[in-house]
Amino acid sequence: METPILSIAGLQAGFRIAGRNIAAVQEIDLAVGSGETVALVGESGSGKSVTSLSIIGLLPKKIGHIAEGSIKLRRRDGVVTDLVGLNAEEMRRIRGNDIGMVFQEPMTSLNPVYTIGEQIAEPIRIHRGKSRKEAAEDAVKLLTQVGIPDPGRRAKQFPHELSGGMRQRATIAMALSCDPQLLIADEPTTALDVTIQAQILELLADLQAKRGMGIIFITHNLGVVAEIADRVVVMYAGRIVESGPVAEVFAHPRHPYTAGLMRSVPRLGEATALKASGQPLPTIAGNVPSLVRLPQGCAFAPRCPMAMDACRAEVPPLFSATPTQSSRCLRWQEM
């Protein structure tokens, strides 16, 4: 069986704030294979981005830390490297080379004082040792691959001269410039309209098919998950609460939080019908708890319509609901 591109085991990461260690993610086990897309979903504060920043080594300096666990990456040469504990120079050789990342908002991840071409060419020069001319030529080719018209002219423009969709395509080109084994896409379509969003998703799927890379796709949009992902990992308050193949989880959610997320997705004509009957739109009551004051036991229990006393006693383990689907719920069999 092929070694996964990424294998995370027992990851616990967080921040040191006011003298206290705050765990932002706990007990994270995750694997991504070649050509596979794994979606991380959940509300803001569930730990999705902290997980991705832990992988790529971009937790905030001084306060961010990985307390436990391993993050093993199968690099391009086949060597498996544990990213936990690597020094800054070793991570720089991996970041942008073996792992690419597309951030949520390109206007904050692109440097406004450098042209698009210069920013795409930089990792090519650093990691591949190419000359400025060769790297600039490669940058234009990458802009062509991601579907930007007139790439030679666009490469000479600055980020503010491009539309939102073009900027996002440029960040994808930058992330793919060194042909990474793993691509992390942190809500790359959130700020885009639905037409451009569909184009970006199609682009990512096409590039993945050609390159065979693994993708971690972070989103709160279940419609996007259904379209692009092979497996889905649902997170809540820093822990995985459910995971499995997308079709299986969506057809038979085994955790009340997953079911609540799916009920909250607006459906065509539903709002009008509910308004006419005087009923509110479906929601999940309450908010994601603060990491500083997590409730005892299951973190979702205060919001869960199925919670019982045992749920508040201790954190449930991940149960194997099926050979491919797991749930962190004591009542998963009743779902």
Identify the CA nearest to 78 among candidates 9, 183, 7, 5. 5
Better pLDDT: 153 or 62: 153
Which pairing describes strands 37-41 and 214-218: parallel, antiparallel, or unpaired? Answer: parallel
**Per mean pLDDT, which range of 97-106, 292-301, 310-319 is the poorest?**
97-106
**3 pLDDT tier (thresholds 50, 70, 90):** confident
Q: What is the largest CA-CA distance in the chain?
A: 67
Indicate the DSSP class of residue 314: S
Enter the tokens of residue 165.
């969709």
Contacting residues for 295 by C-beta, under 8 A, at least 6 apart: 289, 301, 302, 312
Task: Specify the pLDDT at position 204.
Answer: 87
Compute the average pLDDT of residues 201-217. 90
Contacting residues for 111 by C-beta, under 8 A, at least 6 apart: 119, 159
Choices 3.40.50.300, 3.30.1370.60, 3.40.50.1220, 3.30.460.10: CATH for 6-229: 3.40.50.300
Compute the average pLDDT of residues 191-203. 81
Hey, which residues does 235 pair with through a beta bridge? 240
Compute the distance between CA of residue 135 and CA of residue 130 in angstroms, rounded to an integer.
6
Q: pLDDT digits over 223-271, tens only? A: 889 999 999 999 999 999 999 999 999 999 999 999 999 988 877 777 6
Task: Specify the pLDDT at position 159.
Answer: 94
Enter the tokens of residue 241.
């609460």
Compute the average pLDDT of residues 278-300. 89
Burial class (CB in 10 A: 0-12, 13-18, 19+), 70: middle
Residues of the chain with pLDDT > 70, as a percent, come to: 99
Compute the distance between CA of residue 190 and CA of residue 323 in angstroms, rounded to an integer.
33
Burial class (CB in 10 A: 0-12, 13-18, 19+), 18: exposed
Single-letter amino acid code for the residue at 306:
M
Task: Specify the pLDDT at position 281.
Answer: 78
Q: pLDDT digits over 73-123, tens only? A: 999 888 999 999 899 999 999 999 999 999 877 778 899 999 999 999 999
Angle between helices 164-175 and 194-211 (to 10 degrees): 20
Laid out side by side, the sheet with 37-41 consists of 99-102, 182-186, 214-218, 37-41, 231-236, 239-245, 326-327, 319-320
Identify the CA nearest to 331 among candidates 263, 259, 227, 279. 259
Better pLDDT: 52 or 200: 52
Better pLDDT: 329 or 176: 329
Task: Specify the pLDDT at position 131.
Answer: 95
Average pLDDT, the chain: 92
Q: pLDDT digits over 114-150, tens only? A: 999 999 999 999 999 999 999 999 999 999 988 899 9
Enter the tokens of residue 198.
């569909």
> What b/e readout covers 127-150, taking b as 16+ CB neighbours within 10 angstroms?
beeeeeeebbbbbbebbbbbbbee
Task: Specify the pLDDT at position 30.
Answer: 96
The CA-CA-CA angle for residues 97, 122, 70, to 5°, reads 25
Task: Specify the pLDDT at position 1.
Answer: 56
Compute the distance between CA of residue 65 and CA of residue 286 in angstroms, rounded to an integer.
29
Identify the CA nearest to 301 among candidates 130, 259, 310, 227. 310
**Per mean pLDDT, which range of 48-57, 190-199, 321-330 is the poorest?**
190-199
3-state secondary structure of 21: strand
Q: For the chain, give every domain's residue range.
A: 6-229, 239-334
Q: How remote is the C-alpha of 263 from its chain's centroid? A: 22
Quick check: 203 pLDDT over 70?
yes
Compute the average pLDDT of residues 21-48. 94
**158 pLDDT tier (thresholds 50, 70, 90):** very high
Contacting residues for 190 by C-beta, under 8 A, at least 6 apart: 104, 105, 219, 221
**189 pLDDT tier (thresholds 50, 70, 90):** confident
